[in-house]
Structures are given as C-alpha cells and as structure tokens.
C-alpha cells in the first residue's frame, strides 16, 4: 500500500542525486564558492561610511541615522569640524554590528549619503568588542568595497552626471 | 467681560486684561504663528507672520465690519467685540508667502543645525508652508562667529526678527547686539571689542526662534529630540528661577528657564545656566568616610549611619544635648531641613540648631527689566530659617556658630554644606579644630571635611526632589533630573534613615507633614502649583492668566519627531 509513495520519494532523491553529480544542484561549496547576488547594490550587509572627494568622512553628525535606527545601535559624538568648508563632523561614530538588524533605515535617513550598507554578508568575529565598529573601521569598509560597489545614491549619481 | 470672536468661536476675557490678538486667539485654542513677537519684549511687528483678518462686531445689530487689510496680530489689541479670522484664504496665503520669503535666504542646513527639532521655522514650514521654492537664488553662507563667551552666531540662519537685539536693549540693558547693514545684507552683530558678555547672555539663545544664536556650551553636544525635560528650580541664588533640566542617559546637557511670573518671568542668568561643572566633578564625595589619624576609610551606608548615630547620641549623653549642634545648610530643601531638625531633637530635646553659612557674593545685580541675580547665592535660606524658627524660636546664624564653637561651647557638630564651590576659609575651619565629633555632609571635598571624623556624601540640587523658599517667600518644588553621583544617597533619604523611618524618602509626603507641623508652610498642604506658592503674601500669579507665557519651544520628543516624519510622507 505504501510502496507507491515510497518509490515517488526515492525518485525525487534520485533526481537530485543526478543533478548534484552533474553540478547544477542547490548545494554551494561556501566559502570556497561565493554566492552570486542578483544585485549586490541593494543587499543590506555591513555598513560603510563614505568619504567625500577629499577623502574625509562624509558624515555631518546630524544623528538622523541614530534617530531612525530601530535597534539603537548607532552611537555618535558630534563636534565642530576642523575644516574650513565643513561645519560639523563626527568625532566618534560607532555601530554595534551585533545589535544591528540590517534594516537599512540609517541609509534611508542619511541626508548626505554618508552611510551605506554593503553586500558583505558573512561578518564574523571572535568577540563582542570586535563587532563594535568605530569610525576608522567603517571608513576602511568603504576603502575595501568602493571598487566593486560605487556610491549608489541618487545624489552621487546626479553629481557625477553634472560633472560629466 | 469682553467678548472676542476667534474663527467664529466666542470667548470671554477679563476687562482688565490687555491682550493682543495672538494671546486672545491662544485663549480660544487657536495658534497664530509669529517670529518677532515675544511677550517679554516690545512689539515691532516686523516678521509679518502673524498677520490676520480682524474686525469689530456691533453689539446691537450683530453686524461685523472687517478691516480691509490684514493686520499684525501682535500689535493689535483685542477689545470687546473684536473679531479675529485666522483661517481664511487671505491669511493662509500671507503665511505661505512669508515662509517662502524667509526660506529664500535660509540655508536649509537642518542636519547640522542645533536648533533642528525646536525650530519655529521648521514647525511653521510644516504647518503653514509647504510652498514650492520658486526663486533660484543660493542662500549666502557664513562661518559661525562668537558674540560672547556663551553665544555663537550663525548669521546665515537669521530671520531678522530682532528679538535678541530688543532683549539686550530692554531686558538685560547692555544693548550689545545691533542690526548692521540694510535690506538683504542686514546681520546681527556686536561692536568690535564689546562682546555680549553679561550674565544674561544665554537668554538670547533661547529666544532666537531659529538656529542663528546657539549656545556655545551646548553646541553639537546632543540633538534636542533625544533630551528629556524635567521641571526644576535653580539653586544658585535666592531668586529661585524656574528652570527645566534637559538630560539624556543621566547626563545633564543644558538648563533652560521655565516661565514663572512670580520668580523669573522668561529669563535666567548664565551662572545658573552654565556653571554646573560641579555636578559631574570627578572629586565628588560618594561614600561615608571615617577618619582615623590622617586616613579616611570608606564605610557602607547602614554601618556608617549607625556609627554616626551612635557617635552623636554619645556626645549628647556625655556632655548634654546643648553641646551638640546641627548646622542646616541653606542648600537643603525645606523637607530635608525639617527631617534633620526632627532627627536632632530626637537625640535630645536640647540639641542646638544653627543656620549654615549663607554665601554672599558682591551686591544684587539688577537688570533693566527688573530681573535680579541675588547676592545671596543659595536657594533656601528663608525656608531653613522658618524650620529653625519652628524648632528653636531664635536662629543661630553662621557667625554666631563660629564664635560659639571657637569658645568651645559645642563638642559635637553635624554640619551640612552642599555648596557648589569652595565655601569655607581657614579661619572658620580653625573654629572647628577643638570639636570632639565633627560630621560633615558635603558634595565636594573641603578643608573642613578633611578635619571631620565622618564625611557623609550629599547631592546637588539637580539630583534631588524637594522645595525651596526664595527671597520673596515663594515656595517652589523641584524635581530631580539626574541620579545622585554613584554611591551618594539623596540627602532626604540619609536623614530619613537616621530617623529610622521605613521605606523610600518621598519629598511630597514630607512636605505635607511639614505643612501640617509648621504654620508658615500651611498653604502647601494641598500641593504646590507649577508657579509656586507665596507663603508671605499669600497671593501669586498663575501662568494661565498671562496667555502664551511659555514661548520657548517645547522640547520635541523622539516620538513626535518620528511621527512628524511619517506625516510628511
């Protein structure tokens, strides 16, 4: 009585076995084999702090990301900027990556497109302290990812268009 | 009674009241927007934001005759039969145009502007603006510059309401600020070499409706929507200004005046506003200490208080109660003074009570509007005196105490201090050298505390509940803004523990007890209103009778900012 469904099940197993042997199965050999995103530009992974054209942190310490953040994981200390053409900048900018829920609200709230989420998804660390990213670390994420993922804001696009 | 019609709604105002249209409309719950008007300053009607339609209603026929043009609400008095229309198309169009005109020149740098969140320009833009920007001019920008030690000017954000200029001319009287240049080049400025440096300068930051004048001390410290406000009373002089403490995560960020027609009107001085470093000073006393030789050892609270209680009762038993004296600092609240005096009298009915040192700095400093910084730099001399008078009849003052102590009349002294800075000189310290038992309760280390057998940590005025009686007899209640320095206990709790009272110290319960016990405080038995109770004259103004008293921007809450964002969506 159960023989029919049993054979059905075995058939499915055999189908997947053939697929996997032929190399087009679902299993990926992570981390040797990296997954491909449809569009890495809209992935919500580790944050980065963008730099302006002079290599300074773009952030103006307006606290709007900290205000929008539902997980309260962003901690900013603002102060007067040391540069002539800028008024305010973050003396310290800390994100607790463990507390973050990667919702992307900070990116939405930012009026100067200074904070963006990258497609780095496999963030790991050996301690909690290691996962609290300060300004330098967030800027280094920018350096590491800017080649593959250009600043993707409308504003940045408009600026580059105006430049052309 | 005068009858006034606001947007079709009839309200009654008292004949003696002299209200303008903004205030009259506010009584009806209708808010007319304004920038340049301030109830504490003269009227210039220059911003044109409060223009409304007005007319007169004929009492007999009921016929309404309207003025042909819009009139400034701040400059037009409301009288019997006045009709105000604030929601017509004409009025709305004007508000839109004024907003648009101001914003032509305004750098929309809200992300880096400290005023964002408590900015009238932002509020009115949401309520009365939403105009498309039709002119393609780039607002001029300028660097910030200092107007004085506490005031920073961002000239590009200014809307030329001239409130600050009128303030320095009419209230503080220094006249430091001017409008220089004309037309679109007009700017607020000071004369070279004459900075805005008087003790009232901080108020200009409060009355600025936009982010042009910002507090240098608060600049970029915190966004205002993260702050919580707590109603309190300033403790730095006997004027007793009503203030608001703005705190976040147990840190005091700034202090702003709260409107109180009985004490300070809309203002406060820079001493109370800015000289608050002592609250977070690292040298704050935070544990009960016992001295042996030159060394101080920390005691836990229960054992420390037990040791102090035993030492005090020991002195009273050995030498008699009259040789033990309790010194009540004028920085104690009425409730604390009452508890401590009660405790003193439970040790022995003859225990002496004295008034602590009343710090006096120079002369009273009176400003043009009548606002005064009192020479008496403590909040509650009168309240403590009334408590002493109740318990002892006469008051032993500080000089008398020092004289008597030098003469060796007292062998035990329990002294409360809680002064915000150095307060005692060497000669006075020497008076206490021969005392057998000296207990000092203070917030900061002092030469006297070094001589004490026991040191008890006190708390500052921003850390405790209670009530003060100011120079004029006005009783006001204050609430805590931040928690006591870690390890310290609220003074009232310390005294309640010494009295072996159960449970937590609650200032309002003690005040009710005090009102029942001492006739002077009897009026406080039903609680104390926001604007205080005058215990001497028995009458006081209520802020409700002068409409629109609180024109400082209410502190935005995190929630209100978020919901406004959603509404705009």
Among the partner residues B109, B220, B561, nearest to A79 by beta-carbon distance: B220
List, as one string, the DSSP characters of A53-68.
TTSSB------HHHHH
Minimum mean pLDDT range among B118-127, B223-232, B465-474, B496-505 = B118-127
Q: Is B294 helix (H, G, I), strand (E, B) or coil?
A: coil
pLDDT value for B547: 46
| Angle between helix B120-128 and helix B89-104 axes, rounded to 10 deg | 140
Chain B: residue whose CA lies nearest to A111: B111
> Chain A partners of B226 at a C-beta cutoff of 8 Å?
63, 67
- Distance CA(A135)–CA(A118), nearest Å, equals 16
> Chain B partners of A60 at a C-beta cutoff of 8 Å?
111-112
pLDDT value for A157: 58
- Distance CA(B371)–CA(A140), nearest Å, equals 55
Chain A: residue whose CA lies nearest to B145: A87
Chain A: residue whose CA lies nearest to B113: A62
Average pLDDT (A119-148) is 93
Same domain membership, residue B329 and residue B261: no
> Chain B partners of A62 at a C-beta cutoff of 8 Å?
110-112, 116, 223
- CATH number of the domain residue B406 falls in: 3.40.50.740
Q: Given B248, B265, B281, which residue is the final one in a domain? A: B281
Please, which residues bridge with residue B476 across strands? B468
pLDDT value for B569: 42
Which residues have CB under 8 Å from B376's CB, separation 6+? B237, B238, B358, B359, B360, B471
Among the partner residues A78, A84, A112, nearest to B220 by beta-carbon distance: A78
Element at A161 (helix H, strand E)? helix A154-163
Minimum mean pLDDT range among A76-80, A153-157, B101-105, B134-138 = A153-157
Same domain membership, residue B32 and residue B62: yes
Predicted TM-score (pTM) of the model is: 0.89
Element at B205 (helix H, strand E)? helix B202-207
pLDDT over 70, % of chain B: 95
Go through chain A and tell me how many residues it has: 164
What value of ipTM does the predicted structure carry? 0.82
pLDDT value for A40: 80
pLDDT value for A164: 47
Which residues have CB under 8 Å from B547's CB, separation 6+? B19, B23, B24, B26, B27
Given an 8 Å threshold on Cβ–Cβ distance, is B562 in contact with A88?
no
Given an 8 Å threshold on Cβ–Cβ distance, is B225 in contact with A67?
yes
User: pLDDT, tens digit, for every residue of A47-62?
Assistant: 999 999 899 999 999 9
Same domain membership, residue B456 and residue B326: yes
Given an 8 Å threshold on Cβ–Cβ distance, is A67 in contact with B112?
no
Q: Is residue B426 part of a domain?
A: yes
Chain B: residue whose CA lies nearest to A78: B220
Same domain membership, residue B316 and residue B228: no
CA dihedral for B20, B26, B28, B31, sign (positive or negative): positive
* Residue B251: exposure state from Cβ atoms within 10 A (0-12, 13-18, ≥19): middle
- Distance CA(B326)–CA(A148), nearest Å, equals 75
Same domain membership, residue B358 and residue B414: yes
Q: Given B256, B281, B306, which residue is the final one in a domain? A: B281
B229 touches chain A (CB under 8 A): no
Minimum mean pLDDT range among A2-6, A26-30, B328-332 = A26-30
Same domain membership, residue B512 and residue B378: yes
Lateral strand order in the sheet of A132-133:
A74-80, A88-96, A132-133
The neighbour count for residue B458, using CB atoms within 10 Å, is 29
> Chain B partners of A87 at a C-beta cutoff of 8 Å?
109, 112, 144
- Distance CA(A75)–CA(A94), nearest Å, equals 5
Average pLDDT (B134-158) is 87
Residue B445 in this model has a pLDDT that exceeds 60: yes
Q: How many domains does chain B have?
A: 3
Query: How many Å separate Cα B215 from the centre of its chain?
Result: 16
Given an 8 Å threshold on Cβ–Cβ distance, is B226 in contact with A63?
yes
Residue B4 in this model has a pLDDT that exceeds 60: yes
Same domain membership, residue B320 and residue B406: yes
List, as ranges, residues 147-206 from B with C-beta within 8 Å of A: none
Average pLDDT (B393-399) is 93
> Chain B partners of A57 at a C-beta cutoff of 8 Å?
none
Among the partner residues B220, B226, B558, nearest to A88 by beta-carbon distance: B220
Average pLDDT (B422-438) is 92
pLDDT value for B486: 92
Size of interface A-B (CB pairs under 8 A): 31
Confidence of residue B29 (pLDDT cuts 50, 70, 90): confident
> What domains, with CATH codes, occur in chain A?
35-149 (3.30.70.3270)
The neighbour count for residue B355, using CB atoms within 10 Å, is 21
Q: Give B111→chain A minimum CA distance, Å.
A: 5
Q: Is residue B384 part of a domain?
A: yes
Go through chain B and tell me how many residues it has: 569
Which residues have CB under 8 Å from B58's CB, separation 6+? B64, B65, B81
Q: Is B443 helix (H, G, I), strand (E, B) or coil?
A: coil
Q: Is residue B92 part of a domain?
A: no
Which structure tokens are listed for B421? 């800075």
pLDDT value for A88: 93
- Distance CA(B89)–CA(B97), nearest Å, equals 12
Given an 8 Å threshold on Cβ–Cβ distance, is A67 in contact with B561?
yes
Q: Is residue B500 part of a domain?
A: yes
pLDDT value for B434: 87
Given an 8 Å threshold on Cβ–Cβ distance, is B112 in contact with A87?
yes
Same domain membership, residue B300 and residue B266: no
Boundaries of domain holding B145: 138-281
- Distance CA(B172)–CA(A43), nearest Å, equals 58
Which candidate, B398, B408, B396, B399, places its Cα nearest to that of B433? B408
Residue-averaged pLDDT of chain B: 91
Among the partner residues A80, A111, A112, nearest to B220 by beta-carbon distance: A80
Residues of A near B (Cβ–Cβ under 8 Å) read: 60-64, 67, 78-80, 84, 87-88, 111-112
Q: Is residue B50 part of a domain?
A: yes
Minimum mean pLDDT range among A107-111, B487-491, B540-544 = B540-544
- Distance CA(A136)–CA(B242), nearest Å, equals 44
pLDDT value for B502: 92
Q: Is residue B558 part of a domain?
A: no
Q: Given B222, B257, B281, which residue is the final one in a domain? A: B281
- CATH number of the domain residue B221 falls in: 3.30.70.20
> Chain A partners of B223 at a C-beta cutoff of 8 Å?
62-63, 67
pLDDT value for A162: 56
What are the φ and ψ backbone dihedral angles of B548, each rounded to 5 degrees?
55, 45
* Residue B215: exposure state from Cβ atoms within 10 A (0-12, 13-18, ≥19): buried
User: pLDDT, tens digit, for every residue of B345-366?
Assistant: 999 999 999 999 999 999 999 9
Among the partner residues B111, B219, B225, nearest to A60 by beta-carbon distance: B111
B111 touches chain A (CB under 8 A): yes
Which structure tokens are listed for A106? 């900070």
Q: Is B215 helix (H, G, I), strand (E, B) or coil?
A: strand
Residue B550 in this model has a pLDDT that exceeds 60: no
The residue among B113, B116, B154, B223 with the most chain A CBs within 10 A of its CB, best to mutate, is: B223
Confidence of residue A160 (pLDDT cuts 50, 70, 90): low
Among the partner residues A64, A79, A84, nearest to B111 by beta-carbon distance: A64
Element at B2 (helix H, strand E)? strand B2-6
pLDDT over 90, % of chain B: 79
Q: Is B197 helix (H, G, I), strand (E, B) or coil?
A: coil
- Distance CA(B317)–CA(B313), nearest Å, equals 6
Residue A155 in this model has a pLDDT that exceeds 60: no
Residue B564 in this model has a pLDDT that exceeds 80: no
- Distance CA(B347)–CA(B502), nearest Å, equals 18
Minimum mean pLDDT range among B9-23, B70-84, B354-368 = B9-23
Same domain membership, residue B14 and residue B61: yes
Average pLDDT (B332-351) is 96
Q: Give B195→chain A minimum CA distance, Å.
A: 22
Q: Is residue B100 part of a domain?
A: no
| Angle between helix B558-568 and helix B120-128 axes, rounded to 10 deg | 30
Given a contact cutoff of 8 angstroms between Cβ atoms, the answer to whether B351 and B321 are in contact is yes
B109 touches chain A (CB under 8 A): yes
Same domain membership, residue B315 and residue B248: no
Q: Give A92→chain B minimum CA distance, Å.
A: 12
pLDDT value for A159: 55
Q: Which residues of B59-85 are buried (b: 16+ CB within 10 A; e: fewer)?
A: eeeeeeeeeeebbbbbebebeebbbbb
Which whole-number Å values give the CA distances from A12 to A9, A16, A17, B247, B331, in the listed order? 5, 6, 9, 64, 84
Same domain membership, residue B335 and residue B212: no
Alpha carbon dihedral B54, B57, B62, B65, in 10-degree steps, equals -60
List, as ranges, residues 114-143 from B with C-beta within 8 Å of A: 116, 143
pLDDT value for B314: 95
Same domain membership, residue B518 and residue B385: yes
């Amino acid at each position: 009585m159960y023989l029919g469904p049993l054979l059905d099940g075995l058939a499915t197993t055999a189908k997947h076995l053939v697929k996997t042997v032929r190399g087009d199965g679902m299993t990926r050999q992570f981390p040797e084999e990296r997954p491909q995103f449809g569009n890495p530009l809209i992935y919500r992974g580790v944050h980065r702090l963008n730099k302006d054209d002079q290599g300074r942190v773009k952030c103006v310490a307006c606290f709007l990301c900290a205000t929008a953040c539902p997980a309260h994981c962003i901690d900013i200390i603002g102060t007067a900027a040391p540069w002539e053409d800028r008024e305010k900048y973050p003396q310290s900018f800390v994100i607790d990556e463990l507390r973050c829920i990667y919702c992307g609200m900070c990116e939405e709230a930012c009026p100067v497109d200074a904070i963006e989420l990258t497609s780095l998804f496999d963030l790991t660390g050996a301690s909690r302290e290691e996962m609290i990213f300060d300004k330098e670390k967030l800027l280094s994420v920018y350096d590491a990812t800017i080649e593959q993922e250009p600043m993707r804001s409308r504003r940045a696009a408009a600026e580059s268009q105006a430049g052309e | 009674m005068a009858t006034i019609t606001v947007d079709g709604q009839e309200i009654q105002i008292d004949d003696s009241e002299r209200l303008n249209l903004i205030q009259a409309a506010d009584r009806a719950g209708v808010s007319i927007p304004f920038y340049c008007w301030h109830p504490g300053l003269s009227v210039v009607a220059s911003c044109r934001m409060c223009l409304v339609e007005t007319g007169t209603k004929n009492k007999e026929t009921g016929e309404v005759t309207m003025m042909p043009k819009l009139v400034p609400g701040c400059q037009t008095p409301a009288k019997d039969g006045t009709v105000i229309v604030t929601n017509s198309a004409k009025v709305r169009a004007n508000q839109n145009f004024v907003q648009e005109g101001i914003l032509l020149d305004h750098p929309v740098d809200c992300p880096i502007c400290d005023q964002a969140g408590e900015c009238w320009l932002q509020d009115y833009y949401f309520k009365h603006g939403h105009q498309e920007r039709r002119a393609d001019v780039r607002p001029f920008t300028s660097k910030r510059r200092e107007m004085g030690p506490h005031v920073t000017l961002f000239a590009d954000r200014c809307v030329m309401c001239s409130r600050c200029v009128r303030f320095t001319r009419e209230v503080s009287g220094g006249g430091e600020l001017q409008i220089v240049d004309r037309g679109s080049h007009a700017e607020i400025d000071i004369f070279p070499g004459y900075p805005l440096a008087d003790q009232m300068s901080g108020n200009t930051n409060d009355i600025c409706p936009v982010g042009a004048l910002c507090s240098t001390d608060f600049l970029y410290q915190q966004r205002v929507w993260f702050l919580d406000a707590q109603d309190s009373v300033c403790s730095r002089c006997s004027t007793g200004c009503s203030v608001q403490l703005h705190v976040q995560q147990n840190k005091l960020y700034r202090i702003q005046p709260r409107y109180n027609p009985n004490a300070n009107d809309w203002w406060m001085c820079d001493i109370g506003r800015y000289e608050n470093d002592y609250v977070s000073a690292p040298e704050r006393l935070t544990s009960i200490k016992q001295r042996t030789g030159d060394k101080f050892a920390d005691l836990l609270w229960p054992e420390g208080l037990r040791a102090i209680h035993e030492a005090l009762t020991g002195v009273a038993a050995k030498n008699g109660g009259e040789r033990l004296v309790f010194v009540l600092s004028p920085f104690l609240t009425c409730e604390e003074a009452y508890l401590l005096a009660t405790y003193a009298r439970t040790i022995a009915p003859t225990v002496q009570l004295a008034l602590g040192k009343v710090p006096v700095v120079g002369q009273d400093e009176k400003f043009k509007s009548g606002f005064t910084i009192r020479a008496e730099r403590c909040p509650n001399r009168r309240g403590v005196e009334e408590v002493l008078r109740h318990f002892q009849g006469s008051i032993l003052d500080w000089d008398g105490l020092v004289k008597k102590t030098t003469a060796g009349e007292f062998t035990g002294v329990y002294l409360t201090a809680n002064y915000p800075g150095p307060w005692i000189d060497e000669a006075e310290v020497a008076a206490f050298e021969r005392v057998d038992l000296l207990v000092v309760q203070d917030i900061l280390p002092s030469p006297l505390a070094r001589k004490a057998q026991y040191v008890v940590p006190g708390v500052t005025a921003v850390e405790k509940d209670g009530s003060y009686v100011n120079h004029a007899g006005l009783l006001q209640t204050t609430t805590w803004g931040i928690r006591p320095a870690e390890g310290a206990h609220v003074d009232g709790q310390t005294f309640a523990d010494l009295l072996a009272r159960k449970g937590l110290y609650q200032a309002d319960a003690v005040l009710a007890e005090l009102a029942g016990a001492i006739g002077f405080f009897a009026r406080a038995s039903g609680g104390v209103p926001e604007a205080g109770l005058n215990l001497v004259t028995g009458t006081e103004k209520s802020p409700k009778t002068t409409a629109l008293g609180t024109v400082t921007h209410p502190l935005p809450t995190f929630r209100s900012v978020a919901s406004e964002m959603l509404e705009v969506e």
